[in-house]
């Protein structure tokens, strides 16, 4: 009997020839990640252990991306606390100021995560790195403190659900729509503590940016990890970036899956997740006359250069509606620079957009675009829970960049075709 990709990675990290679902393993961690919100608690947990040093100064990554540039005294104190820890222990990969990007876009871009890594992050969207075939999962800050001290973590081997995505992709349908469709099919707990393996002809045809989007939202279905087998597109992305030697693993042909689910996207139009769950998915054509107040294009889900190009395709030569606040957030400094060089920033400015420095900002109701009572936003982010972007009586509708841009122009949730 063979192993799935998730099982193979965990077997390597546990120094085992074979593992099966349900086993509890002590695994070697390649990357330990935290941000300005989660790192302070992890540091306190680390200090309570009493060790004199971290397990590896190059393998701990601290990214000050959630409330920076510091929005208030509290966030400034948090960042100061983490900064002093990084200086004390010589943490090589500490990111703040002009170097900071949204963590789950920044790490792959810089080659800090490579295929077959085990990445443990104190952030639920750590699963993003499965797009380059890493086993990446989020944990609590206390668990991360233990990882920072020891370089190890206990993990239960998850069962794997395989999603075979097939069919013909329609115009304006993106990776965001594919993962929204899957979440809509199985629900927000449909893959609880499962590895979600995305495969099939459609997945193989996606760019890396869209693959990151899909794996990023595995957690929205309860997934422990989301993974895509490496192929030539993966290798082209990793090549020239990787700071360490990648290990390209794939599922065995005789691997056993919990289940295999076929997903046919033929005839599918862009989707919108209505409040207050990512599973509340409807075709954009069914979002009739929903007036909006704000559009956010960015986040660790859809703030990469492909996403900005898609938004600019709709916004070129147009203005955001008078009563709509349009906020564009490039995910990393490099994405910002590339968008500037390609003329995308000028398109956004001409459309009346506010251009933010790289930050998680409004996605978690942090800053850079908080909603008031009764306001509605269309966002390319990953969550639309009650109060996620501000007031508990505000609403967030999740969509791809095409839909978000079209909605900004028309002042209501709109199909991209309406804005062309």
Both 134 and 221 in one domain: the answer is: yes
Closest C-alpha to 109, from 252, 208, 254: 208
**267 in a domain, yes or no?**
no
Claim to verify: residue 218 and residue 295 sit in the same structural domain: no
In a domain, 68, yes or no: yes
Same domain for 188 and 336?
no
Instruction: Tell whether 107 is covered by a domain.
Output: yes
pTM over 0.85, yes/no: yes
Identify whether residues 226 and 127 lie together within a single domain: yes
Report the pLDDT value the prediction gives residue 172, as an integer from 0 to 100. 98
Residues 166 and 28 in one domain: yes
87 falls within a domain: yes
Which tokens hold the place of 363? 């996605």
Q: What is the pLDDT of residues 59-68, one digit of tens each?
A: 999 999 999 8
Q: Are 122 and 98 in contact (CB under 8 A)?
A: no
Per-residue pLDDT of the chain (420 residues; tens, 9 = 90+): 899 999 999 999 999 999 999 999 999 999 999 999 999 999 999 999 999 999 999 999 999 999 988 999 999 999 999 999 999 999 999 999 999 999 999 999 999 999 999 999 999 999 999 999 999 999 999 999 999 999 999 999 999 999 999 999 999 999 999 999 999 999 999 999 999 999 999 999 999 999 999 999 999 999 999 999 999 999 999 998 999 999 999 999 999 999 999 999 999 999 999 999 999 999 999 998 999 999 999 999 999 999 999 999 999 999 999 999 999 999 999 999 999 999 999 999 999 999 999 999 999 999 999 999 999 999 999 999 999 999 999 999 999 999 999 999 999 999 999 999
Boundary (domain end) residue, out of 229, 262, 295: 262
Angle (CA) 56-241-250 rounded to 5° is 85
CATH of the domain at 397: 3.30.499.10
Number of domain units in the chain: 2
Among 238, 262, 286, which residue terminates a domain?
A: 262
Q: Is residue 311 within 8 Å of residue 402, measured between CB atoms?
A: yes
Last residue of a domain, one of 242, 262, 282: 262
Residue 86: inside a domain: yes
> What pLDDT score does 349 carry?
98
174 plus 208 within the same structural domain: yes
Are 291 and 228 in the same domain?
A: no
- Whether residue 67 lies inside any domain: the answer is yes
Determine the Cα–Cα distance for residues 81 and 130; give it in Å rounded to an integer: 30
Q: Which domain holds residue 93?
A: 5-262
Pairing mode, strands 281-283 and 354-355:
unpaired
Looking up tokens 């608690």 gives 41
Query: What would the 3-class secondary structure string for the chain be?
Result: CECCHHHHHHHHHCCCCCCCCCCEEEEECCEEEEECCCHHHHHHHHHHHCCCCCCCCCCEEEECCCCCCCCCHHHHHHHHHHHHHHHHHCCCEEECHHHCCCHHHHHHHCCCCCCCCEEEECCHHHHHHHHHCCEEEECCHHHHHHHHHHCEEEEECCEEEEEEEECCCCCCCCHHHHHHHHHHHHCCCCCCCEEEEEECHHHHCCCHHHHHHHHHHHHHHCCCEEECCCCHHHHHHHCCCCCCCCCCCCCCCCECCCEEEEEECCCCCCEEECCCCCCCEEEHHHCCCCECCEEEECHHHHCCHHHHHHHHHHHCCCCCCCCCEEEECCCCHHHHHHHHHCCHHHHHHHCCCEECCCCCHHHHCCCCCCECCCCEEEECCCCCCCCCCECCCCEEEECCHHHHHHHHHHCECCCHHHHC
pLDDT in tens, 218-251: 999 999 999 999 999 999 999 989 999 999 999 9
Q: Are residues 48 and 181 in the same domain?
A: yes
Q: Measuring CA to CA, how many Å separate 1 from each of 19, 133, 253, 257?
A: 11, 21, 9, 11
Residues 184 and 303 placed together within one structural domain of the fold: no
Distances (CA, A) of 138 to 22, 23, 57, 129, 341: 18, 19, 20, 11, 34
Question: Do residues 83 and 214 both lie within one domain?
Answer: yes
Are both 294 and 357 inside the same structural domain? yes
Give pLDDT, residue 1: 82
Tell me if 213 is assigned to some domain.
yes
Measured in degrees and rounded to the nearest 5, phi and psi for residue 65 equal -115, -15
Rounded Cα distance between 356 and 330, Å, is 7
pLDDT given at position 144? 98
Domain co-membership, 322 together with 190? no
**Is 321 domain-assigned?**
yes
Contact 126, 120 (CB under 8 A): yes
Beta bridge partners of 259: 161
Half-sphere exposure of 47 (CA within 13 A, CB side): 11
């Amino acid at each position: 009997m063979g192993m799935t990709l998730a099982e193979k990675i965990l077997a390597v990290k546990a120094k085992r020839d074979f593992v099966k679902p349900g086993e509890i393993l002590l695994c070697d961690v390649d990357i330990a990640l935290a941000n300005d919100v989660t790192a302070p608690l992890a540091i306190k947990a680390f200090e309570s252990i009493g060790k004199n040093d971290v397990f590896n100064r190059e393998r701990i990554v601290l990214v000050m991306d959630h409330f920076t540039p510091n929005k208030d005294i509290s966030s400034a104190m948090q960042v100061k606390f983490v900064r002093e820890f990084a200086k004390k222990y010589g943490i090589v990969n500490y990111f703040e100021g002009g170097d900071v990007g949204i963590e789950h876009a920044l790490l792959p871009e810089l080659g800090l995560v490579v295929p077959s890594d085990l990445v443990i992050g104190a952030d639920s969207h750590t699963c993003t790195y499965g797009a380059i075939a890493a086993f990446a999962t989020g944990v609590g800050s206390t668990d991360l403190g233990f990882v920072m001290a020891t370089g190890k973590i206990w993990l239960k081997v998850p069962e794997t659900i395989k999603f075979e995505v097939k069919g013909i992709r329609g115009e304006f349908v993106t990776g965001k729509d594919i993962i929204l469709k899957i979440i809509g099919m199985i629900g927000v707990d449909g893959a609880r503590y499962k590895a979600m393996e995305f495969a099939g002809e459609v997945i193989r045809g996606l760019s890396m940016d869209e693959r990151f989007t899909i794996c990023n939202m595995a957690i929205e279905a309860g997934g422990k990890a989301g993974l895509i087998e490496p192929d030539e597109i993966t290798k082209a992305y990793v090549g020239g970036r990787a700071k360490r030697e990648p290990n390209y693993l794939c599922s065995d042909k005789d691997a056993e899956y919990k289940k295999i689910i076929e997903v046919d996207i033929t005839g599918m139009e862009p989707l919108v997740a209505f409040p207050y769950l990512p599973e509340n998915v409807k075709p954009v054509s069914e979002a009739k006359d929903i007036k909006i107040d704000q559009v956010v294009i960015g986040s660790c889900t859809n703030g990469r250069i492909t996403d900005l190009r898609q938004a600019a395709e709709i916004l070129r030569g147009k203005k955001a509606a008078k009563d709509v606040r349009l906020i564009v957030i490039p995910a990393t400094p490099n994405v910002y620079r590339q968008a500037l060089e390609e003329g995308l920033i000028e398109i956004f400015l001409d459309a009346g957009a506010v251009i933010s420095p790289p930050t998680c900002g409004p996605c978690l109701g942090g800053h850079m675009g908080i909603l008031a009572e009764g306001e509605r936003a269309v966002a390319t982010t990953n969550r639309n829970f009650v109060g996620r972007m501000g007031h508990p009586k505000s609403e967030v509708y999740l969509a791809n960049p095409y839909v978000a841009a079209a909605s900004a122009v028309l002042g209501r949730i709109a199909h991209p075709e309406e804005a062309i």
